[in-house]
Amino acid sequence: MVVVVALLLVCAAIASAVPVPTHVRFDGHQVLRITPQTEVQEKALQDLRWNHTVANGLDWWLEPSYVGRRADVRVPPSAMSFVDSFLSAAGMSSSVMIANLQALVEGERSQLKAAKADRKVGRGFNLDEYHELDEILNYLELLPVEYPGLVTLLPIGKSYEGRQILAVKISTGASNTSNLAKPAFWIDGGIHAREWISPATVLYILTELLAQYGSDPVVTKVVNELDIYILPVFNVDGYVYTWETNRMWRKTRSPNRGSTCVGTDPNRNFDNHWGEVGASGDPCDETFYGPSAFSEVETRAVSDYLKRIPNLSAYYNIHSYSQLYLSPWGWTPNRPPNYPEHMDLMTKSVAALKGIYGTDYEFGPSSTTIYPTSGGTDDWTYGNLNVVHSYCIELRDTGKYGFLLPVDQILPTGSETFAAIKVAMEYILPQRRV
Ligand code: 0X9
Ligand code: ZN
């Protein structure tokens, strides 16, 4: 009896010492949509964005840009009256996209729980679910066993918190028709932690490329003729943090000197026009560009790896949401030298995407199609590595669920995006057939 009681006490002591992660709550947080109708309103919205965001705890799900273009912002209850009066002073109205974010977060969590219970009875890795980082890494590690001679694991580096940044390479081996390496095609997902549909879609693409190799003629051709590099989760620490603590986390998880705010936006941390337009110097802002270009161990690891890939011919950086297909530049509205080719590839790729379920995507250069940004991955691969076909895709949806895209949209998003990517893969082949 004494032993049992003592054991219980020891267990209780251990349990109390191990912190149970508590989830950040979003009770009463609303996501509002605001569309400026005049240039004066556009300026007022920029003022709200760049001068009142951190103080009011605003979180821009879709940054403000131009007259007639929507912007989405998460507003905590404490900031609601400030935002209301700010908008009415500028003669602007808003519509409610999400009335209570906490309800959506809880709905997602109970769905995840049910899916996890199902998996325990042996359903394995399912493409129609969102997965925790461990499950994704375990899945990747099995691929070279399942597809020997086709898949190799690429340990790109370690994150700030020491996690593996793991990519895979799909390749049938060296080209035997030329001395030049095959064209390399890179896709990464999960650079922004909360955009869960991004890793899910990248995993879909990876899986289908392997599953359809040898049966589908287009897949067989692109797999034979390209070296394909796939990194499903770029920002691993952030991704884990969205699962364990804060579903709305975006940035990395490295601390900032002189601030209690954590993290840098990895898509503002690349060394191309770093620290310029559409990025913040405030560590508490979601678009903090970091203390220096490539300050983040994750952006350093990925960029160092990209530099070493022979014949890198296409770079894809996958985000959500808004249904946009974006080409360089982000930092300037000026058209880059390859603008006609970019538009040609995007026209064909977006048409293939639409051909699956009729989903509409807008496309064009980042700066004018979404909003200006600097220090972005694709500007760096295009401008610094001369990767002509460097793109950023913003997946589903257009704002009904935003980052909380329901699981029943994972497979449709995967298959339409796969159609778009296959067209891009064929497009960059040396003997183009598209
Ligand atoms: O702001 C971003 O980093 C991207 N949007 S997101 O909502 N996923 O955060 C858009 C980036 C556009 N700029 C470039 N592609 N350079
Ligand atoms: Zn993003």
Q: How many angstroms separate the CA atoms of 388 and 428, rounded?
A: 10
For residue 391, give the ligand nearest its CA: 1
The CA–CA distances, whole Å, from 303 to 157, 159, 195, 315 equal 11, 13, 21, 12
Q: Which of 42, 296, 298, 394 is catalytic?
A: 394
Cα 398 to Cα 62: distance, rounded to the nearest angstrom: 10
Q: Is residue 306 within 8 Å of residue 186, measured between CB atoms?
A: yes
- What is the percent of the chain where pLDDT is above 90? 90
Q: What per-residue confidence (pLDDT) applies to 434?
A: 47
How many angstroms is it from 176 CA to the middle of ligand 2?
38
Helical pair 133-146 and 197-211, crossing angle rounded to 10 deg: 10
Q: What distance in angstroms lies between residue 83's CA and the mean position of ligand 1's atoms? A: 24
Lookup: tokens for 423:
């067209």
Q: Which two tokens stand for residue 255?
A: 């601390």
Give me the chain's average pLDDT, please: 94
Cα distance between residue 405 and residue 321, in whole Å: 9
Cα–Cα distance for residue pair 295/271, rounded to 1 Å: 10
What does the block give as tokens for 384?
A: 């610094």
**pLDDT, tens digit (0-9, with 9 covering 90-100), for 148-183:** 999 999 999 999 999 999 999 999 997 767 778 999
**Among residues 136, 130, 137, 135, which one has the least CA distance to residue 194?**
130
Nearest ligand 1 atom to the CA of 61 is 7
Find the DSSP H helices in 251-393: 297-308, 339-357, 366-369, 377-383
> Tokens 């325990």 belong to which residue?
120
User: Binning pLDDT at 50, 70 and 90, where does residue 433 land?
Assistant: very low
Q: What are phi and psi of 154, to 5 degrees?
A: -120, 100
Cα torsion for 191, 193, 199, 200, to the nearest 10°?
-160
Residue 201: partners with Cβ closer than 8 Å, 6 or more residues away:
189, 318, 395, 410, 413, 414, 417
- Dihedral (C-alpha) 256, 294, 333, 286: value to the nearest 10 degrees? -30
Residue 19: its pLDDT value, please?
66
Q: CB under 6 Å to ligand 1: residues?
A: 192, 195, 267, 319, 326, 330, 366, 370, 373, 376, 378-379, 392, 394
CA distance linking residue 386 with residue 394, whole number of Å: 22
pLDDT of 179: 78
User: Is 129 a residue of the active site?
Assistant: no
Residue of 207, 53, 54 whose CA lies nearest to 127: 207
Instruction: Tell me what pLDDT residue 130 has.
Output: 97
The three-class DSSP label of residue 261 is coil
Q: Which atom of ligand 1 is nearest to the CA of 328?
A: 16
Residue nearest to atom 12 of ligand 1 (CA): 366
| Strand locations in 6-115 (E) | 30-34, 59-62, 71-75, 94-98
Residue 282 CA from chain centroid, whole number: 22
- Per-residue pLDDT, averaged over 96-114, amounts to 97
Would you place residue 122 in the very low, low, confident or very high pLDDT band (cuts 50, 70, 90)? low
Task: Supply φ then ψ for residue 185, to 5 degrees.
Answer: -125, 120
Best substitution site from 49, 235, 270, 394 to test ligand 1's pocket, by max atoms within 8 Å of Cβ?
Answer: 394
